A and B are shown apart, each in its own frame.
Chain A
Amino acid sequence: MSEFNELYMEVILDHNKNPRNNGAIEDHTNHADGHNPLCGDKVSLDLIIEEDTVKDIKFTGSGCAISTASSSLLTEYIVGKKTSEIRHLFEEFHDLVTKDESDTENLGKLSVFEGVKKYPARVKCATLAWHTLIAAIDGDEEVSTE
């Protein structure tokens, strides 16, 4: 099984199986639906943003292990962070999954997705939740990775 460990890390498999923050927030302040038409992955995010800070976030959706785990880990990681900080994190995350060398000091446990960069076809799976998050912060209701 060793050959799959670099992509399907234990943490990713765990979050795929038991996604955290799965559900909706009735009185959300921000919301966006993300869709990857290529593979049919879908994610919907509900957020409560107060004073430019994410107070709460939940997600629903269907997708592959990478996309589900990315949504789950993201929701855990960004609570309490400023929106400006989140934009910067997305840049770092994007570099993590696409570039050979990247600055990942702020990504913490999100760096488990590093293995994705060897699978260019799966980059969109890992970044769908992020694109959707930025759309929700910007007040866009829908986003597509195509």
Chain B
Amino acid sequence: MVKEQFPILSKEVNNKPLIYLDNASTTQKPASVIDEIQEYYECTNSNIHRGVHHLSQKATEEYEEARKKIQTFIGARSSKEIVFVRGATEAVNLVANSYVNPLLSEGDNIIISHMEHHANIVPWQLIAKQKNVEIKVVPINEKGELVIKELDNLIDKQTKFISLNHVSNSLGTINPVEKLIKKAHQNNIRIMIDGAQAVQHMKVNVTDLDVDFYCFSGHKMYGPTGIGILYGKKEILDEMEPYQGGGDMIKSVTFEKTIYNDVPHIFEAGTPNIVGAIGLGKAIDFIKDTTIEKIEEHEMDLLNYATKKISNIDGVRIIGTSDNKASVISFVIDGIHPHDIGTIMDNLGIAIRAGHHCTQPVMDFYDIPATARASFAIYNTKEDVDKLIEGIEKTKEVFA
């Protein structure tokens, strides 16, 4: 049983066994990851890259070993293309500031989409305001899919960058990123894909995709919080400005001249989240041992099972009905606010998300204030889905 590998899943919430269905926010952590973190602090803890002593070397080895695991996991050509960041949010901010900002002149534009998480909207707004450039938005259709032909109309000679998500966190839609990346490159524009909702569900190979930048967060893929990955093609990272200044990102410092370190270290100023990186490496081991194919198959089973059951309940509408979805179901119930659904579920020990999921433009598109969202991971079961269905019925009963 996969569930048994996750200590928190045997706990109770509100005197009910926990049914955890908020995985698109953050997944739970297997014992292997938790133990690794504890062991690091008990047996290895030390600062990396500088010390000559044994523990520092051991910590450095483990940290760099984690980088290699991530390189293999996403099929990057070199571990130098893997930058440790705090999470996908920091990765977007890094690319916006260190790569895109210097490219921009007044009148240029950046293209994003209507289904982006706020983390892939606001960093672009910040630099757009600074440089007086426009942000163009690829629209979505009623099913919650990108209207890709509109991308052709949006791209012009002043388009300097495109940033789109791989999978929508509030709709579940899987975007045809291969096609989007090709389109960008046909127009000589570089592109970033936000994979925060993708890597935990499906095989991603950044080299096959030929994507320029790709990012994701550790905590949504069974790893710790506070660690994430920015992948960038080596030749692009080599051209980029530093993101933050500090220790570890330099080769030498004098008051006259500072020589920066090589990639990826140039982007990792200060003592990084060492144990986070090592924990993420362990989470990748968990995914590898389980196999991403098995995870995908299992989650698709749950998605189909839950979609069918929820669709059959009167007065419930699923938001995001693409044929190509990851295991995320947003829904609304006629006349009942999602926060009331969330509270009733919580009383039943079921953790779901209720809110705008940091995608207010998506909520505005559907003219709803919020949705309730259930999202599944490898440890969820059909029994969990049945409990969710009972919860929906119960909610309807309370507000009948």
Contact = CB atoms under 8 A, between A and B. Distances in A.
Interface in B348-400: 354-356, 363, 369-370, 394, 397-399
Nearest to B356: A40
B337 interface: yes
Contacts of A121: 343
A17 B340 CA distance: 13
Contacts of A8: 340, 398-399
A40 B344 contact: no
A127 B337 CA distance: 17
Given A39-B355, A64-B337, A64-B339, A4 B398 contact: yes
Contact of A39 (B344, B347, B369, B394): B369
A7 B355 CA distance: 20
Nearest to B336: A65
B128 to A, nearest CB: 22
Given A1-B397, A8-B398, A63 B347 contact: no
B122 to A, nearest CB: 14
Nearest to B335: A17
A63 to B, nearest CB: 6
A24 interface: no
B343 to A, nearest CB: 6
Interface of A: 1, 3-4, 7-8, 13, 16-17, 38-41, 62-67, 119, 121-122, 125
Q: Nearest 3 A-B pairs (CB), nearest first?
A: A64-B337, A40-B369, A64-B339
Interface of B: 336-340, 343-344, 347, 354-356, 363, 369-370, 394, 397-399
19 contacts: A1-B394, A1-B398, A7-B343, A8-B399, A13-B399, A17-B399, A38-B355, A39-B354, A40-B363, A40-B369, A40-B370, A41-B369, A63-B337, A63-B369, A64-B338, A64-B340, A65-B340, A66-B340, A121-B343
